[in-house]
A and B are shown apart, each in its own frame.
Chain A
Amino acid sequence: MKLIRLALPIWSLVLLCVLHASSSQEIQIVNAERRIDLSSHIVKVFLTLKIENTGTSPVSDVLLAFPPTQANHLALLKAQAATGKRKKKTFTFLDVYPAELPEGPNGTKYFSISLHSKLGAGEVVTLEVLYMLTHSLDPFPEEISQSESQLVYYRDSAILLSPYQVKQQITFIKTPSSKIESFSMVEPTNRAGAELKYGPYENHSPHSYSPVIIHFENNNPFAVVEELVREIEISHWGSIQITEQYKLAHAGARHKGVFSRVEYQSRPGHSGISSFRHLLARLPPRVHSVYYRDEIGNISSSHLRLDSKKSELEFEPRYPLFGGWKATFVIGYGLPLEDFLFELPDGKRYLNFSFGCPLVETVVNKLTVKVVLPEGSLDPSVDVPFPVEQYLEKKYSYLDVVGRTVVVLEKNNVVPEHNSPFQVYYHFNPIFMLAEPIMLTTTFFLLFITCVAYLHIDLSISK
């Protein structure tokens, strides 16, 4: 709704826009090509911008604009600069950060890409931007029965929202199948099979917006992990133990009415087509002691495939997930310590582990990563490639006395592309490894001493 309101023609606003006047005046987008991939429930947008500095002074930052709804659902934003010709293209990653600017018209949010080298007057640079949106496909109808397939809306603008003048642009939208119920027409619009083409459009002024809505079939599993807690426990005795607690939900169109097992089993292609029952987790290689259970016991339907590069755990929740159904489960596994824990020359140790959720093609609404350092660790510090919330906790595990330091990292709206490694640095004195064995030995020693003493002391009052 908000989007549609936003979508009112805003030509008049353009002139009023005083935001970042200098850069918006000085940069223009020569060519913009957008490819929107709607084949799963994570919307992936590849944006190629050819930017020219039309001003006189060099610029170092390029702004990207997003409508507020998209900005809220934006999970990932990456940009890279392409240099060189077609085959010899090399890419350099650029820093992207939310622009410290007042909000644009109708709440437009900006992100700023800082270029490595300043763009001189008249120079041209090609930027490739990838961003991902989650929860952007709205099922309609909102409730479907078992035999129906799932239809969703996707809303966007046919014209790239940008604070700059766009000379020429084109948008391709790829849907999972050719079953498209309807789509908005903004001439010229073409449809070829599972692909829609909006454009090319010429010469649109800054902050142009032309809302389109596409209604199409998407039966891909809308697997959303509402909450995931990953606990990574380091033991310097040679193992890393990972426990992942999932709250999984099917975020697609809600299931309505009857669930008939006989239909689900006899017509697997037609009945419950938008539901899913298999999930795949990509685990690191050399994984061992894998378990899969929930609060009432083991779940027996899982397969683990091990090879030298990766391990794949294919598992099923207890029941197939239809729209709106939920399930919780825990996956745990152990990993050899030497694969993930390294020592710096200065004696510091660091854990190098992947951040995101190991399930493929799932969105995590709230991810909490807890790194449990061994007892006696000092000065933990974290290096994560994207902004996360972090704080420290204490945890008491087997026979701990002072407790273990836990580094907690929290991030919302995580997509599989966040599965990049992060590092936790800390100091650890190996003598602490012996604390618990020594404690146990002492206790038993004292116990035996007490027994011996008791047996040798005559406590009776009278002989």
Chain B
Amino acid sequence: MADLSSDHAITKQDESLTSLPFDLDEALSFPVRYSSSDDSPVEGTPTEPDWHPVVMNFPAVDPDDSAGHCTVCMEGFRSSGEGGRRMPCGHAYHASCITTWLSLGHSATCQKQANYGHFVIGGRNPLRQVPARQVYNNSKSFFPSILDLDASPQRARTGPSFSAPPALPSETLNTSAGACARPSMSSPETASERTVRHAFGNVLAFFVLLLIGVLAFSIRLFSVIKYESVIHEFDPYFNYRVTQFLTKNGIYDFWNWFDDRTWYPLGRVIGGTVYPGLTLTAGTLWWVLHSLNIPLSVETVCVFTAPTFSAFASWATYLLTKEVKGPGAGLAAATLLGMVPSYISRSVAGSYDNEAVAIFALIFTFFLYIKTLNTGSLFYATLNAISYFYMVCSWGGYTFIINLIPIHVLLCIVTGRYSSRLYIAYAPLVVLGTLLAALVPVVGFNAVMTSEHFASFLVFIILHVVALVYYIKGILSPRMFKVAVTLVLSIGLAVCCAVIAILIAVVASSPTKGWSGRSLSLLDPTYASKYIPIIASVSEHQPPAWPSYFMDINVLAFLVPAGIIACFLPLSDASSFAVLYIVTSVYFSGVMVRLMLVLAPAACIMSGIALSEAFDALTGSIKFQLLGFSTENSQVGVGDASPDNAPAQKNAVKSDASENTLKDRTSRKNKKKEKERGKEEQGGQSSLQSQIKMRLQVLPLESSIIGVFLLIMLGAFYVVHCVWAAAEAYSAPSIVLTSHSQNGLHVFDDFREAYAWLRHNTEVDDKVASWWDYGYQTTAMANRTVIVDNNTWNNTHIATVGTAMSSPEKAAWEIFNSLDVKYVLVVFGGLVGYPSDDINKFLWMVRIGGGVFPHIKEPDYLRDGQYRIDSQATPTMLNCLMYKLSYYRFVDADGKGFDRVRQTEIGKKHFKLTHFEEVFTTHHWMVRIYKLKPPKNRIRGKAKKSKLKASSISSSKKSTKIKKNPWL
């Protein structure tokens, strides 16, 4: 506001000024020495006295009443003796400085100056009175904005002019927000018009964001529409159950909850072992709704938590990308993120998992970090720590943040980008963030004790050392400083070596080098398959196949490189962070398919940047071609025809000025093209004529239109793919299956049938054994105690169940009986062809069981290196419990015993169960529940044994077998 009024003051002072066709933003990209100035010094006064003609037209600053100093050379106006000139933004510069600046302004070699020149050099920044949010690392936007939305550092050039016919909304979609940022140099009437236009742009951007939110929410509702409003898969059932407990018993009981329904007989302390973010979020949502008397069930709230937070995540993406490359790229990135399949796969309605809220927290934390980095505001730094705390609450993936940000800080320091903003952005995050993280029970002292967090502390120390060095450098003379450096370096190196040696010794003393198994398997992709079969057995922990990149991020995979290039032009703190983010997340997604989820936001940000830059270049060319040529004759027309320089344009245009404008604009277009296409080489032309020609080398109209068309096609392809992925690929809740046949839709609801049966027809305290995949579902849906579940914290316990499943019937009975198991649940897909059944998971049972109990040997189950259940199967396989429970009386069902998953007839068709009895089998045989026969059968067997010697021998054989069993 203050700046605007100062603009008005100018316009009143010098009415003729208002007719100046100068656009500072264009001037910034003035490419006179673009290619030749690569070697020119960054700082220093220009050797040529010829000032930019435009600069000459600006009002001179009275040295006496101008309080500040030129922010280019950082000297006062009086001291240098050189007169200042006031720019339209209200800031004053030395005329020579600003000319140099304008001529160098856009060149890639001026990074340092771009960062330090206009805005911020520590506390000497003359623009401190400018609201923090308007300060950008990239100084091309000289004009403070009115609203946050306007604060576009780079995009300010685009947007319709006043005299131009009203732009189509689609045209202004990317650009209008930026356009509004222009300060007024025109008459008061146009200023008010402009205010209206600002408001229009803001409102438009707001509604676009709103629509993106609606899109992100509604594209995830396919699962509800096609299936039903139900919790999906496995882990969400646990989260749902915890949320139910939370809403029923309150927060204190939640922290103290010892869950005896799981890991029998060990139990599990839920409050201390769960990331509570998701649960607390949904619980809070539910509580708010109920205090408003909106009686939504806990289940409904849980189902719709993920889509809601997807909308938040796309808004956060907008904010983050806006900080990196401006609102246009922000809107594009938010749109892309709203429907990126990788994220949809984890956040469809019903997918009530940690990632649902964690991705939002991740992006928002990054946004706040970048925001702090750009503004140096302690307020945002505090928010950043709180947002990091929320992320720690939500997901184990918070270690990604606490490693990525230090790496970025280190990168900034190494590349000489240290600033007080960097300090503000990082130091509070580490201190506050670590303290807050330690409050989360599941993290606790891990926040300072595990190796995942060491990088942050190390960088914290380095940052302080660097800060100290900068401080000392500031107070010492250069010579003294050199002495001090040598002194400190020699001592510091010695101390550092000692500390690092101690640290390494401490870390090396722990077997996993202080890293958790999952982190290690990230750093060393072969680690899990070598040492931890449980981690390896989870399909989402496998490395992804190449097609999954196309499936999950689709065309973004091709746009990302373009986005990375755009980030380097020019490279700022924020864009270097974006580059770092995409590089690391690409690596992680290559290790674990699950972490494709972390890649998705990065890919969206990059692609959003690439798309918006490309659209800028192409639509800019089109506008220029269409409007620029047609108005060459008429001077007034030029004013009309400069839609993308909008606000600076006036009605009355001097012809030479208009030529200038034209040249500037064209050159800028050229530059854009270079960025995007990298095609055109523009160096070395000396004559003015050739320069003009060069600047006129905008893309031809036809190719621009084709380019826009192709980009739209690309976008359309992406949208179609995303909708398909959301509707077909990622919506199935996996607890209810469907198949299309001639008779229409056929529903396989066997899992819930079995769980409902268990819930209503067994005793409340009965223990159910199953492979760990079904643990969460059994506790949540059947409300029965399970032996192992999807929280795979106790390898031995899982191995015990695996051993039982791979043992012969009698031995398995002994193991199960020793665990008080009453029912055994197996999943069998052989009748209907459901492939992820227990027989297909059997190799993991053998492998995990054998890893702990050596009497289970994998080769006993393999014939020719394969698990087989047909007539070629090994006797151990045919006698193991899993085989028997799966195929018991299977031959009676179809007469042949043909397994449709393995596409073969089973090896052993007719057999009886001696220690188990079938108590329930679902409609399609997908879940079979067996009951352990009571032990009294054994006593009767012993009584018989005394009569018959033969049987006594066999049973004694059995008992020797049992002795191998760890449970006897």
Q: What residues make up the interface of A, taking CB atoms closer than 8 Å to B?
A: 257-262, 265-266, 294, 296-301, 318-319, 324-328, 396-401, 458, 462-463
Chain A residues in 8 Å Cβ range of B923? 261, 319
Instruction: Pick from B2, B294, B735: contact of A399, CB below 8 A.
Output: B294
Name the distance in Å between A354's Cβ and chain B's nearest Cβ: 26
Chain A residues in 8 Å Cβ range of B747? 300
Q: Which residue of B lies closest to A293 (CB)?
A: B228
A199-B923 Cα distance, complex, nearest whole Å: 50
Q: Which residue of B lies closest to A324 (CB)?
A: B761
A400 engages B889 (CB within 8 Å): no
Q: Which residue of B lies closest to A299 (CB)?
A: B749
Name the distance in Å between B161's Cβ and chain A's nearest Cβ: 26
B686 adjacent to chain A (CB < 8 Å): no
A318 engages B749 (CB within 8 Å): yes
**Given pairs A319-B923, A325-B761, A396-B293, 15 additional interface contacts (CB within 8 A):** A257-B917, A258-B917, A259-B918, A260-B889, A261-B925, A266-B892, A296-B230, A297-B228, A297-B736, A299-B749, A300-B749, A319-B756, A319-B757, A325-B760, A398-B293
A262 engages B736 (CB within 8 Å): no
- Answer whether A259 and B293 are a contact pair too, CB < 8 Å, given A294-B756, A296-B752, A318-B756: no
B920 engages A298 (CB within 8 Å): no
Instruction: Pick from B292, B295, B735, B757: contact of A318, CB below 8 A.
Output: B757
Name the distance in Å between B244's Cβ and chain A's nearest Cβ: 10
Interface centre among A257, A318, A401, A458 (most CB of B within 10 A): A318
A298 engages B753 (CB within 8 Å): no
Chain B residues in 8 Å Cβ range of A318? 749, 752-753, 756-757
Chain A residues in 8 Å Cβ range of B708? none
B749 engages A258 (CB within 8 Å): no
Of all A-B residue pairs in the complex, the 3 with the closest CB atoms, nearest first, are A261-B921, A297-B230, A326-B760
Chain B residues in 8 Å Cβ range of A301? 749
Chain A residues in 8 Å Cβ range of B736? 297-298, 300
Chain B residues in 8 Å Cβ range of A258? 917-919
Instruction: Pick from A294, A401, A458: contact of B1, CB below 8 A.
Output: A458
Interface centre among A258, A294, A299 (most CB of B within 10 A): A258
B2 engages A463 (CB within 8 Å): yes
Chain A residues in 8 Å Cβ range of B228? 297-298
Chain A residues in 8 Å Cβ range of B230? 296-298
A328 engages B749 (CB within 8 Å): no
Instruction: Pick from A300, A328, A398, A462: contact of B760, CB below 8 A.
Output: A328
B922 adjacent to chain A (CB < 8 Å): yes
Name the distance in Å between A228's Cβ and chain B's nearest Cβ: 16
B893 adjacent to chain A (CB < 8 Å): yes
A260-B292 Cα distance, complex, nearest whole Å: 50
A257-B295 Cα distance, complex, nearest whole Å: 43
B781 engages A296 (CB within 8 Å): yes
Interface centre among B1, B293, B893 (most CB of A within 10 A): B293
Name the distance in Å between B385's Cβ and chain A's nearest Cβ: 24
Query: Which chain B residues in 757-777 approach chain A with CB under 8 Å?
Result: 757, 760-761
Name the distance in Å between A274's Cβ and chain B's nearest Cβ: 16
Q: Which residue of A lies closest to B738 (CB)?
A: A300
B interface majority secondary structure? mixed
B823 adjacent to chain A (CB < 8 Å): no
Chain A residues in 8 Å Cβ range of B781? 296
Name the distance in Å between B912's Cβ and chain A's nearest Cβ: 12
A265-B831 Cα distance, complex, nearest whole Å: 13
Name the distance in Å between A460's Cβ and chain B's nearest Cβ: 8
Chain B residues in 8 Å Cβ range of A328? 760
A-B contact pairs, 26 of them (CB 8 A): A257-B917, A258-B919, A261-B918, A261-B922, A261-B925, A262-B892, A262-B893, A262-B921, A266-B893, A296-B755, A296-B781, A297-B228, A298-B228, A298-B230, A299-B749, A300-B749, A318-B757, A319-B757, A319-B920, A325-B761, A327-B756, A327-B760, A328-B760, A396-B295, A397-B293, A399-B292
Q: Which residue of A lies closest to B1 (CB)?
A: A458
Name the distance in Å between A375's Cβ and chain B's nearest Cβ: 10
Name the distance in Å between B233's Cβ and chain A's nearest Cβ: 13
Chain B residues in 8 Å Cβ range of A397? 293, 295
Query: Which chain B residues in 877-936 approach chain A with CB under 8 Å?
Result: 889, 892-893, 917-923, 925
Chain A residues in 8 Å Cβ range of B1? 458
Query: Which chain B residues in 844-893 approach chain A with CB under 8 Å?
Result: 889, 892-893
- Answer whether A399 and B293 are a contact pair too, CB < 8 Å, given A262-B889, A319-B757: yes
Query: Which chain B residues in 762-803 approach chain A with CB under 8 Å?
Result: 781
A258-B921 Cα distance, complex, nearest whole Å: 10
A296-B779 Cα distance, complex, nearest whole Å: 12
Name the distance in Å between A15's Cβ and chain B's nearest Cβ: 54
Instruction: Pick from A260, A327, A398: contact of B918, CB below 8 A.
Output: A260
A324-B755 Cα distance, complex, nearest whole Å: 17
Chain B residues in 8 Å Cβ range of A458? 1
Chain A residues in 8 Å Cβ range of B2? 463
Chain B residues in 8 Å Cβ range of A299? 749
A325-B919 Cα distance, complex, nearest whole Å: 12
Proximity string of chain B (81-108) to chain A, C-beta cutoff 8 Å, 1 when within and 0 when not? 0000000000000000000000000000
B761 engages A326 (CB within 8 Å): yes
Q: Which residue of A lies closest to B756 (CB)?
A: A318
A258-B755 Cα distance, complex, nearest whole Å: 18
Query: Which chain B residues in 915-961 approach chain A with CB under 8 Å?
Result: 917-923, 925
Name the distance in Å between A328's Cβ and chain B's nearest Cβ: 7
Interface centre among B294, B753, B756, B892 (most CB of A within 10 A): B756
Name the distance in Å between B193's Cβ and chain A's nearest Cβ: 19
Query: Which chain B residues in 220-239 approach chain A with CB under 8 Å?
Result: 228, 230
Chain A residues in 8 Å Cβ range of B753? 318-319
A261-B735 Cα distance, complex, nearest whole Å: 21
Name the distance in Å between A123's Cβ and chain B's nearest Cβ: 57
Name the distance in Å between B588's Cβ and chain A's nearest Cβ: 34
- Answer whether A259 and B921 are a contact pair too, CB < 8 Å, given A296-B755, A297-B230: yes
Chain B residues in 8 Å Cβ range of A327? 756, 760
A260-B230 Cα distance, complex, nearest whole Å: 30
Name the distance in Å between A297's Cβ and chain B's nearest Cβ: 4
Q: Which residue of A lies closest to B782 (CB)?
A: A296
A299-B918 Cα distance, complex, nearest whole Å: 24
Chain A residues in 8 Å Cβ range of B293? 396-401
A260-B889 Cα distance, complex, nearest whole Å: 9
Q: Which residue of A lies closest to B735 (CB)?
A: A297
Instruction: Pick from B292, B752, B760: contact of A297, CB below 8 A.
Output: B752
A262-B920 Cα distance, complex, nearest whole Å: 11
Name the distance in Å between A222's Cβ and chain B's nearest Cβ: 16
Q: Which residue of B lies closest to A395 (CB)?
A: B295
Name the distance in Å between A91's Cβ and chain B's nearest Cβ: 44
Interface centre among A265, A298, A400 (most CB of B within 10 A): A298
Chain B residues in 8 Å Cβ range of A396? 293, 295
Interface centre among A259, A319, A326 (most CB of B within 10 A): A319
Instruction: Pick from A257, A319, A399, A463: contact of B922, CB below 8 A.
Output: A319
A417-B455 Cα distance, complex, nearest whole Å: 76
Proximity string of chain B (521-538) to chain A, C-beta cutoff 8 Å, 1 when within and 0 when not? 000000000000000000
Q: Which residue of B lies closest to A297 (CB)?
A: B230
A463-B129 Cα distance, complex, nearest whole Å: 8
A326-B759 Cα distance, complex, nearest whole Å: 9
B756 engages A398 (CB within 8 Å): no
Name the distance in Å between A90's Cβ and chain B's nearest Cβ: 49
A301-B781 Cα distance, complex, nearest whole Å: 19
Query: Which chain B residues in 98-156 approach chain A with CB under 8 Å?
Result: 129
A371-B264 Cα distance, complex, nearest whole Å: 44
Name the distance in Å between A374's Cβ and chain B's nearest Cβ: 14
Name the distance in Å between A223's Cβ and chain B's nearest Cβ: 15
A297-B292 Cα distance, complex, nearest whole Å: 25
Q: Which residue of A lies closest to B745 (CB)?
A: A300
Name the distance in Å between A296's Cβ and chain B's nearest Cβ: 5
A327-B228 Cα distance, complex, nearest whole Å: 21
Instruction: Pick from B735, B752, B919: contact of A259, CB below 8 A.
Output: B919
A298-B294 Cα distance, complex, nearest whole Å: 22
A294-B297 Cα distance, complex, nearest whole Å: 13
